[in-house]
Structure 1
Amino acid sequence: MFTTLLMEEVRTQARRNAGVVGIVAVIAAGFMLLSLLELPVISSMLLVGAFVALVAMPGVVSVQVGIEYWASMYGARGYLTMSLPVRGRTVFAAKVLYAVIAVVVSAAAATLLAIGWFAAYVHLLGSTLGQLLEPVRQMISMVGTGMVVFYGLTVVEGVIVTIIEVAAVMSIGGQGRWNRLGFGAPAAGLVILYVVNQVVGLVATVLLPLSLDLTSGRIVGRMMLPQFIEAARTGQDPLLVGIGSVVAAPVLAAILVWWAVRAIERHTCLR
């Protein structure tokens, strides 16, 4: 049943999401090509417009899948969704997995187009892509390929965790006790989620024994707090930067998923 639900998400949303990605890609590529005409001021504005379009691409897809999630779970179509002979956790998993795939694919498309953006940018500067990326190569050689991969995975983790948390908060806000608030309940929940994420991230960064050693660029099992206190006392920069949030974020997401599944299966009340 999970596969059937996932394929239904693809059938109802993929064309719409692909359309947005295609339109934004055409706009961004057009701006980049026009910028190569090297028109004073205008070329720079076109490159800025292309950059904004690339950044907006995964954002627009995220909004699309978010609206679809709410409409299909708690809007008029929610009656059909909740009548399916399947547990709420399966519905939640299928919808969230599709959302993750859609957003990650759109982000990957934007990243590939960003290569063309950098090429256009260095052309206007009268430089080369190799010269522009030289500082990046130096950084990679300093911290190592493994650390670069780790940084990239943490970014992907952040995107996936955010999608899961937002979907979970929407379902938690869709409980009957907050029915009269409509979408106001999940909207308030998203604000609370932001605050909680900041607090949890700060505590995890400072207190969990997982840090990045700035002197070696390596991950060490040490707490940042003593270094932070010493740096504040002496006025020097800390040599450790806590990265405990990469562990705390999935834990918080798991708690919200448990709460959301419980809300879907026991407390859903359609409008």
Structure 2
Amino acid sequence: MIGTLFAQEFRTTKRTLLPAVGIMLLAIIVFLAIAALRVPFIGGLSFGLGIGVTLVFTPVVLAVLVANYWRTMYGAEGYFTMTLPVRGSAIYAGKVLHGLVVSLAALLITLGGLALAAIAFALMKGQGAFDFLREALTTIDPWMAWFLGVALALQLVFAVIAGATAMSVGAEARFNHLGFGAPVIGTIVLYFVMQIVNLAALLFIPLGIRMTGPDAGSLVAEGMLTDFMAAIADPAANATPSVLGLGVFIVPLIAAVLLWWWGARSVDRRTSLR
């Protein structure tokens, strides 16, 4: 059943999602092409616009997903959605899984757009595009690239689940008099709570990666508390952290699981469309 709901989500969102994606992709290609061809007067401006559209691509897709979730769950279409002969948790799962797939695809497209921007920049400077890309890639530490990629993907997964849960909990009878303001307030509160919890996880969870020394890149049973206290004791030193805490990965995973449970339970037991 979840698979059927998942497929249905693609059919219902294509009316709003595909036009937005198509317009942005066309804009990225046209702007970067103008820049690569070094069109006088507008080449630099076009390059900046291409970068701008690329950077907002994933946020725009997320905004479309948010609007679709709210409309089909708690707007006028919500009355039809809630008549489906399935549990609310199944509806929640289908929508969230759809959101995860679409948002991760949007992230990949954004990365592809940045690669096109790098090629356009090389052509603007009269350099070989592939030589420029190869040189740029060789200067990036592969381990750091994987780290950043996993961190981005994890944050995106957390954001999709957190957003769906904030809307579902915000639509409960005790909050729905606030309308869409309830999930907005909930999201802001959750953001600040997660910042505090993530900082605590970085400092205190005893799991990290050694950043300096002969054993750089190895796992260690340490957090970043020692480096943090040293930085407070001597702010002028500007020392490079010796350990990168991995608690920042552990906490969002746990939080995502808990938020999934909370959101599914809310849709099952406390949905209110009044």
Same fold (TM over 0.5): yes
AA aligned to 1:254 is V
> In structure 2, what is the equivalent of residue 191 of structure 1?
188
SS of residue in 1 equivalent to 2:94: helix
SS of residue in 1 equivalent to 2:244: strand
For residues 144 and 117 of structure 2, the distance between their equivalents in structure 1, rounded to whole angstroms, comes to 26
> In structure 1, what is the equivalent of residue 24 of structure 2?
24
**Pairwise CA RMSD:** 1.9
Structure 1 residues 171-210: Cα deviation after superposition (integer angstroms, max 9, x where no partner): 1111101121111111100111111111111111111112
Structure 1 residues 111-138: Cα deviation after superposition (integer angstroms, max 9, x where no partner): 2232221111012223344346535423
> In structure 1, what is the equivalent of residue 247 of structure 2?
244
AA aligned to 1:47 is F
Q: CA deviation at 1:42?
A: 2.2
Contact kept, 8 Å, 1:147 with 1:218, in 2: the verdict is: no
> In structure 2, what is the equivalent of residue 168 of structure 1?
165
Contact kept, 8 Å, 1:74 with 1:174, in 2: the verdict is: yes
Aligned residues: 267
AA aligned to 2:84 is L
Contact kept, 8 Å, 1:210 with 1:244, in 2: the verdict is: yes
Provide closer, same or farther for how the CA distance between residues 32 and 78 of structure 1 changes in structure 2, counting only shifts above 3 A.
same
Q: CA deviation at 1:106?
A: 2.1
> In structure 2, what is the equivalent of residue 2 of structure 1?
2
For residues 80 and 205 of structure 1, the distance between their equivalents in structure 2, rounded to whole angstroms, comes to 45
List alignment gaps of at least 5 residues for structure 2. Answer: none
Q: CA deviation at 1:147?
A: 5.2
Q: CA deviation at 1:230?
A: 2.5
1:220-231 correspondence to structure 2 within 5 Å: 220-231=220-231
Q: CA deviation at 1:220?
A: 2.4
For residues 226 and 247 of structure 1, the distance between their equivalents in structure 2, rounded to whole angstroms, comes to 20
1:29-44 correspondence to structure 2 within 5 Å: 29-39=29-39, 42-44=42-44
Give the one of 253, 265, 269 matched to 1:262.
265
> In structure 2, what is the equivalent of residue 232 of structure 1?
232
> In structure 2, what is the equivalent of residue 138 of structure 1?
139
The answer to whether 1:58 aligns with 2:55 is: no
Structure 1 residues 6-40: Cα deviation after superposition (integer angstroms, max 9, x where no partner): 11101111353232222111111111111134245
- What percentage of aligned pairs have identical amino acids? 31
Provide closer, same or farther for how the CA distance between residues 239 and 63 of structure 1 changes in structure 2, counting only shifts above 3 A.
same
Moved more, 209-218 or 49-58: 209-218
Provide closer, same or farther for how the CA distance between residues 148 and 107 of structure 1 changes in structure 2, counting only shifts above 3 A.
closer
SS of residue in 2 equivalent to 1:176: coil
Structure 1 residues 117-165: Cα deviation after superposition (integer angstroms, max 9, x where no partner): 111101222334434653542342xxxx455334322221111111111
For residues 140 and 76 of structure 2, the distance between their equivalents in structure 1, rounded to whole angstroms, comes to 52
Contact kept, 8 Å, 2:73 with 2:82, in 1: the verdict is: yes
SS of residue in 2 equivalent to 1:83: coil
> In structure 2, what is the equivalent of residue 82 of structure 1?
82
